[in-house]
Structure 1
Amino acid sequence: MFASDRGDEPSSTPHIVFERLHKRYDGPQGPIHAVHDVSFAIARGEVFGIIGRSGAGKSTLLRTINALEVPDAGTVTVDDVPVAGLDEAALVRLRRRIGMIFQHFNLLSSKTVNANVALPLRVAGLARPAIDRRVGELLDLVGLSDKASAYPSQLSGGQKQRVGIARALVHQPEILLCDEATSALDPETTQSILALLRDINRRLGLTVVLITHDMAVIREICDRVLVLDQGRRSEMGEVWRIFGDPAAEATRALLRPLLHDLPADLARDLVDDLGGRPGEAILQLRYGGDSSADGVALADLAALHPQARLLHGGLDRIRGHSQGRLLVAIPASALDPVQDRTARVADHIEVLGYVVTGAR
């Protein structure tokens, strides 16, 4: 099963469909609408991200897929089968097709790595040789063959999460749910876990659905993303489009920590008008990924003005599209004739202000 890559690309076939989903809870101050009238579809084989602030409804939405949460209204279907209509036996079968990994690993401290991964198979009544064979394959897949006899207390956070991933794959699921799977990990370990999840998605063709509050995770691994805001769908689309041209304020707020914003020292010297004094205009050039798919030509930047200087910023390459923002300084006296040329090298140009010569 793990010998060769499947190489599957995400298909356009809906795997999971949400229609007019509602879920509310009774709170001390009245009802809380965790999910309100949310509709969307997740394609088979894609890595789909759901992001939002704390309390946006991410976990509630994720847990309706395997009926750990039951919506008050609306439907969730997996392969065109409504989850809410399943009897107990059918629900058990569905949950075996859906693996789940958690923020805090949920490993049994008294059992070895081998025993933690094997537990769902023992519960299902598989024979010992089949269990040993399957657990061996999975530990090899997640890079923990040498840790089979170790206990969770002897593992790093990243190793614990790899055990959690192996355990989630024991029943050869079609869907893998990731509930803040990297939020308890350091940045380096997060990168290794995301790379593993992407590799599993490509090799096994799984549909991966993950929730997070971190846009860096979405950028790294997801094909598409849904942004939730107070239980409502804020916006949804391909990750590179959402990053390049966010339409909703909630999305812009989530992206803000990743943006190359105006540095504090430059902001301090920025003025709205030079008042006749010599100085520079500070331009922000924004690239959404459509016109800059292959990057930005240095010759185009140089054509802005012979004295143009790149001050700050950067481009990210997301799913084959380069997008980001650059801050450029040019002589203020050259601003008007430059405006026409910048339209050809950036998707959007904005004059942020001016800096008086000698101010820095």
Structure 2
Amino acid sequence: MTVESALRASRATPGPGAVRPGRAVTVPISALDVSRPLRSGGPNPDHVRTLAALDASLLPPILVHHPTMRVLDGAHRVQAELLRGGTHIRVEFFEGTEEECFVLAVRSNVGHGLPLPLADRKAAAARILRAYPQWSDRSIGEVSGLSPKTVGAIRRRSAEENPRLNGGGRLGRDGRTYPTSVAEGRLYASKLIGERPHASLREIASRAGISLGTAQDVRKRLENGQDPVPGARGGVRRAVGPDGEGTCNDSALDANGNRRTVPDVPHPSLPERLRPLKQDPALRSTDMGRALLRLLSSHEIPVAHWQALIDGVPAHRARAVADIADQCARIWQEFAREMAGRVSEG
């Protein structure tokens, strides 16, 4: 058994400490090291007697760290075999580091047999946090038999002494690294959108570790000139440039040549800006006006629908569609310049 098999989650035994059965061998009990039990109170005598009364062939093999012969899981079964007068026991070996052994020991003792006391599980979670701070609270909770909320509280207390425990992302049960907060994920998504404006929402969501709906909302907020994080404080609207750094859209230079910012004024959405045009009789009463409103309204499509249109284009037509869309965009840009010129002339 390797640490890779221990860290891969399975449906039967999920979590970074998942154990998969290997080939069992029989070894002398005298060769085993049982000097470092997980339980602070030592073996439970009643549980040992209960196991001793069972057929030994019905019990699973114990888990042993091969290089040191330390018993990771099965201390009660060892004592029960000694109580029966036995001298040998079936074992399953594990190759790994000290901390990997500890994770396996905790996961195995939580998964079956006599559960670890709450105090021991909390102490185990704190040690796993120190060894693997990148693991998510849920992953550590599944290893130690605690709720994610309890692990989070342990992390906060431990982080007061070791801030490293709150840094970086979190490694989930699926092996992917996720941001420590939704806000962090939104900011990273906005950076990705700035770097790759034509990337799909699915790709942005996957790389930023956020949901598809959150990625859609980030892109929509950026299109509307809003901060990618709802309720962001500071009064300055931020956009994300290609380098990922926040920039101020509404900015100018003061008399000293320094950039100044103006308070955020959220841009209304496209439907909100179209509404008064659709209600204007001067446009609605003419053929050209109605044609223009229909053309403008054709872009009144939610971001998710745009993504569906993109996904629906076959790969061999992607370049042709992209070129036509680019040509349409240039036509609209020229139209916008003509309209802006009329405004300045008026």
User: TM-score, normalising length from structure 2?
Assistant: 0.28
Higher strand share: 1
Tell me: higher relative CO, structure 1 or 2? Use CA pairs within 8 A at least 6 residues apart. 1
Structure richer in helix, relative to its length? 2
Structure of larger gyration radius: 2
